[in-house]
Structure 1
Amino acid sequence: MTIFCGAYAFPGHELPQALLDDLRTHVSRFPADRPLEFHGKGAYVASVDIQAFAGSGSIDHGAGGFAVLAGEPLLTGEDANGGRRDMDLVRISATLRSATPYAALRRASGTFCGVDYDGEGRTMTVFVDKCGVRPVYVWAGPQFVVFASALRILEAVAAVPKEFDMRGVTEIAALGYALGDRTPFRNIAMLRAGEALRLAGGSVQRELYWRWDGPLDDIGYEAATRRAYDTFIDAIGRRQRTRGVAAAFLSGGLDSRVIVGGLAALGNDVHTVNYAPDGSQDQVFAQLVADQLQLAHKQIETNATNVGQGYRKDEVNAWIRQTFPELLAAGKAPVLWSGDGGSVGLGYVYMTPQIVAAMERGATGEAINLFTRGVPQRIFRRSALDQIANLTFQGVTEELAAIEGPDQGRRFQLFLMLNDQRRHLAKHFEDIDRERIEFHLPFFDADFLDSVLRLPNDWLMAHRFYMDWMEHFPNALSSIPWQAYPGHIPCTLPSPPGLKYQWDVYYDKKMYAQMRRTQAKNGYQMLAAPRFPDRLISRGTLRLASLLTALGVRDYSYLIKTASVYCHYWSRGQEDGRKAKVS
């Protein structure tokens, strides 16, 4: 399966038919999708499969219940089934009903989520992968629990109240994601990394079956780089299996490079696509990699007309149709290789020496302030600032306090992995019903992460470990120039002069102007909307910011974007038919 949603009724209650109708209706917005439904006593799941991964993502046990899975668990060790997700689901379902319920999940290395319902014991378990990258959202009411692999589904279900959560929304505005299990709505939670929700009788229990903190591994530096290489290549091989052909994003950085390098080293025919401004390091360095590895490479120029589309560009979709004609003809979705997770999980791009030094001194507050200053305060009404100003700092403090371990710098890195990276692909999974694309994500492979996240923090700072790890690849990947992060190990290889750099002036004037006009238009639309958070956002400031941005006098897009987060979720609470509560 790709998407699922469902509900569980507590003893003495039944699931309302209107709830089931809502879940069935909203599990997918794709017109041709026909949900597969599973019913049990006081239990229901609706699911849709875009046919990207091989093998069934569901089991119907009849009176014994059912199990549904999105993504691929990729069990390892004694539970390995050659990556077959149907066999993986059989093993997961069986162990969830045993005396050691999480034994199989602890051996899973993939990106997945799922639900198992034991019809005999009337017990339901909802679970996510060890990193929590494939999300599940949960609302628990007095009579029943509702869950979904996309937040938009719960937003559309009338029985689930959408109460504006000030902390969650403020964290999204400040960081791009809510912290911990928070969402924009009060009482709707997102399961944490390595978490399972157990529903039995009248109880709701949340349990962590996996933790990333704790002691460090006892291993030398050179042995650690080799171990990380071996587990990464194994992660690629377990996902690719015997297909022979692979399609991947390829940028001018390192994360996508090592993926295509690994695929090529394993003997695959690799097709790559790059979308970047003409004359940029991103564009030119990707072509150099493709030439050296003899890849079938497609270059798509990012310009003023498509700069906001990301991988959803029309040209990318055309490339997918050309690369996967047999899949699309059979009604199946493609799986693309993506380097998401590499820059943070292995490159430590958000970890600065100043943050680490503050953590090692015990100055947690200083480290947090180096990482984020919270939301820009100029967009808010003065009466709201006291309530908003400190929320992000408070949230980061609480998350850091929950992470254990002797290496203080590593605690901050784990905070990033369990929050920033866990939410990194949430938008992709929100829209997967429409986009019809799955990703292979080897940087989120749990075995690979286990090989690097239990190492001393100093080893991995500034891409040091990354560069030494890359030397193990057999295709001389470090002999080609790469786009280096500011403050990290620089690229000293010769490259063509005058190339655009991602952290400098990357787009041309037309593209920047188009982005400003888009933000200004968003500002005006918010001001005209019938549901505006006047208690929080200053209309006068937003109006002026939109005007100056539209005229090109000054770019206040950051203020407009901040306002848009509050306006969006405030509006959703109002549309729910209840007064938007601030909590």
Structure 2
Amino acid sequence: MCGFVGVFNYQTQSFVKKDVVVKMNQLITHRGPDDEGYFDDDFLGLGFKRLSVIDVAGGHQPMTSDCGRYTLVFNGEIYNYKTLRKGLEKKGYTFRTNSDSEVVLALVVLEGAGFELKLDGMFAMSVYDSEHKTVTLYRDRLGKKPLFYSLTASGVVFASEIKPILASGLVSFDVNWSVVSDFFSLGYTVSEQTPFEGVKALLGGHKMEFSMSGHRTEKWWSLDVYSEANKPVVQDLKSQVTSLLERSVQKRMVADVDVGIYLSGGLDSSLLAAMVKKQSPLKKLKAYTVGFASESYDEAEQAREIAEHLNLEHRVIKMGPEDFVNNFTDVVYKSDGLIANPAIFANFLLSKESRSEIKVALNGGGGDELFFGYDTYRADKIASYIPKLPSSVVHLLLKGCSWLKSNHKRLGLKYKLVKFIDALKFNRVKRHYWWRTVFSDEEKKRLFLFNSSHDSFEQYQKAFSDFSGDDFFESASYADLNVWWVNMGLYQGDSMSMANGIELRMPFMDNDLIEAVYRLPRKQKFNGWKLKTVLKEISYDFLPKHILERPKSGFHLPLAQWYTEELKDFVEEKLSEERLSKIPQLNTQEVRNIIDEHLNFKFDNSFKITCLLVFVEWHELFIQNFNEK
């Protein structure tokens, strides 16, 4: 697990200044504190930072083939590298190291075009062909490992994070307000666009080649989906999924350094921990949990019970308001793009506190998307019995909810009821999207002091349209995976762990498992009411019944409470009129109204306040003062 940067002046064929590449590379030291390297050839400059996980002594990058033609910088892990290595050795390739990076390079040399299809893992990489003077960027199937680029008058600048691109001095940047609009709608940004005009993300499952004749992008992977009529009932579904998940866990335990697990107390991470212990019963697995003082949010006791049952070396990391304050600026800065899911602050603290003991961690991310774990799927089922209502009727229903008081505990009744009712004015597809939004379109109109015709629903709408199956619930799961999880879950997982030099691995995001799950009949996975049916059935073979029959609560931070108590002054300071005045596109009075409504317990605006806090801090760090850092 690492990070890399590059400058390729293929347009002007001009010399790349090494000091520019070095400056860019130093900004991602947190991603790779163990080693660094550089490469330059004609009008290409590459920089690399390494976190040593496989073949700690070897695997130095950039790595050039023996023939001298190809040079690789690679970030990620290839789980089937040992199998691939044996096949390459039979073809006569002689390896110099035991690293998975050299296996990738050998594939480039011997296999050529399409080699990426053989890789099972997470990766972002750049391959330089000195004979044809081309640079090709690759990103893994879903986009677990990040890769950004910006086209310049001379060519292209690319990096594992956005900061090096901005610091290169080769690109001009300003706010992309359409992306900001998406951020306030969703709490994260979507697709290839970033909050910076001119800086883009290479999408998962895509590759991009740069040559003297220009550049071209190609999609090399997509998830196959099927109509329900073409999915036969699976008789041994439980054993099939168990086998796939166990194999995924086994692959992700391969490392030459210590591997731990982030244990939330929920079903997904608990099942993964149990599978690790089954495969290595004598191994003392280190487990880490974030705990809170507030009982309605704290799941540390459930995690402790699971840890004791599995004989894990368990550590609870207590998170308080002071941790939020102390890490806030670092979280916003290290995440580069805009993301305001409250879990990022807990994930940052987890990786920060566990870094002294482990270099690799497993977590249960992605299980809810694959196996229908969200209450929004139940909401879809309930709403299917309710026709689309006129806006006037919805308005009256919402007015009737106004007398309810918000208690600012874990997603209270008023919050859920208002979100559900408000979506009833839309069709089925937009309802599903709406339940995942933070600011509504009307609320954004009041917040922004500019006219924007941008529709943040587009990406969810596109995901539903791209789904070629015939089942609504399956299409909702597909959209959540490809919009919510790819853009929020995978990105925050990588950025917050790598901010502290931790490699995060997600067994539920295994290629074989994902493809197999989408071949299963939807009704065998979700009947409209019971969530995570398949995983629960599997878990009875690994965990005690009383643990499994606890109600699902989901992971949340007590920000709603903290914003009215310990963090009240922090909110007032960060969203002061003085700071807001430096962003003339925001309506200062509307921000004040949002804060007051929350403080007066009229509505839980904690998600909105978090979005505002993150955006104002991001704007100050990257737009107002970035050149000073």
TM-score between the two structures when normalised by the length of structure 2: 0.75
> What SS does the aligned partner of 1:272 have?
strand
Q: What residue number does 1:396 align with?
A: 460
Whether the aligned pair in 2 keeps the contact of 1:252 and 1:482 (CA below 8 Å) is no
> Is 1:111 matched with 2:122?
yes
CA contact (8 A) 1:168 1:183 kept: yes
Residues 248-272 of structure 1: per-residue CA shift (max 9 Å, x gap):
1212211110111010000232121
Q: Is the 8 Å Cα contact of residues 213 and 405 (structure 1) preserved in structure 2?
A: no
239-248 vs 280-289, which moves further: 239-248
List aligned pairs for 1:274-313, cutoff 5 A: 274-278=289-293, 279=295, 282-306=299-323, 309-313=345-349
Q: Does 1:130 align with 2:141?
A: yes
1:215 aligns with 2:265: no
User: Which residue of the partner structure matches residue 7 of structure 2?
Assistant: 7
Cα separation, 2, equivalents of 1:91 and 1:236: 22
Residue 101 (structure 1) shift: 1.8
Question: Are 2:582 and 1:532 aligned?
Answer: yes
Give the aligned partner of residue 275 of structure 2. 262
- SS for the counterpart of 2:452 is helix
Question: What is the SS of the residue equivalent to 1:158?
Answer: coil
Matched residue SS, 1:514: coil
Amino acid aligned to 1:4: F
- Is 1:176 aligned with 2:242? no
The 5 A counterparts of 1:53-68 are 53-54=54-55, 56=59, 58=61, 59-61=63-65, 63-68=68-73
Aligned partners of 1:503 and 1:23: how far apart in 2? 35
Q: Supply the AA of the counterpart residue of 1:339.
A: G
Give, in angstroms, the shift of residue 57 of structure 1. Answer: 6.2
Q: 1:375, 1:319 → 2: CA distance?
A: 38
Q: Extract unaligned runs of 5+ from structure 2.
A: 88-94, 326-344, 388-426
What's the counterpart of residue 452 of structure 1?
517
User: RMSD between aligned alpha carbons?
Assistant: 3.9
Q: Distance between the aligned counterparts of 1:313 and 1:25, measured in 2?
A: 23
* 1:300 partner amino acid: I
Deviation for aligned residue 1:136: 0.6
List aligned pairs for 1:271-350, cutoff 5 A: 271-278=286-293, 279=295, 282-306=299-323, 309-313=345-349, 321=356, 324=357, 334-349=359-374
Q: Are residues 1:520 and 2:520 paired?
A: no
Distance 1:239 1:133 in 2: 14
Distance 2:220 2:194 in 1: 22
Residue 191 of structure 1: aligned partner: 202
Counterpart position of 2:429 = 364
Aligned to 1:227: 240
For residues 108 and 251 of structure 2, what CA distance do their matches in structure 1 show? Answer: 24
Hey, what's the Cα distance between the residues in 2 that align with 1:518 and 1:297?
Answer: 32
In the alignment, which residue of structure 2 is the partner of 1:494?
none
Moved more, 501-510 or 206-215: 501-510
Q: Which moved more, 1:298-307 or 1:240-249?
A: 240-249
Label 1:89 to 1:287 Cα distance change in 2 as closer, same or farther (>3 A): same
| CA–CA distance in structure 2, aligned partners of residues 289 and 245 of structure 1 | 21
Report the identity percentage.
16
CA distance, structure 2, for counterparts of residue 133 and residue 251 of structure 1: 21
Deviation track 1:425-480 (CA, whole Å, cap 9, x = no partner) reads 42454455641211222112212222213333343337958443444458531514
Paired position in structure 1 for 2:591: 542
Contact 1:3–1:27, Cα closer than 8 Å, also in 2: yes
Kindly state the Cα deviation for residue 189 of structure 1 after the two structures are TM-superposed: 1.5
Change (3 A) 1:115 1:214: same
Please identify, of 536-545 and 239-248, the stretch whose mean Cα deviation from structure 2 is larger.
239-248
From the superposition, tell whether residues 115 and 230 of structure 1 become closer, same or farther in structure 2 (CA, over 3 Å).
same
Superposition pairs of residues 410-559 of structure 1, within 5 angstroms: 410-423=474-487, 424-430=489-495, 434-461=499-526, 464=530, 466-472=532-538, 476-482=542-548, 490=551, 513-524=565-576, 527-529=577-579, 532-534=582-584, 536-543=585-592, 545-546=594-595, 556-559=605-608
Aligned length, in residue pairs? 546
Residue 119 of structure 1 and its aligned partner are, at CA, apart by 1.2
What is the alpha-carbon distance in structure 1 between the residues aligned to residue 268 and residue 39 of structure 2?
Answer: 40
Corresponding residue for 2:104? 92
How does the TM-score come out when normalised to structure 1? 0.81
Kept in 2: contact 1:338–1:440 (CA 8 A): yes
**Gaps spanning 5+ residues in structure 1: where?**
325-332, 485-489, 492-500, 578-583
CA–CA separation in structure 1 for the residues paired with 2:375 and 2:2: 31
Match 1:250 to one of 241, 245, 263:
263
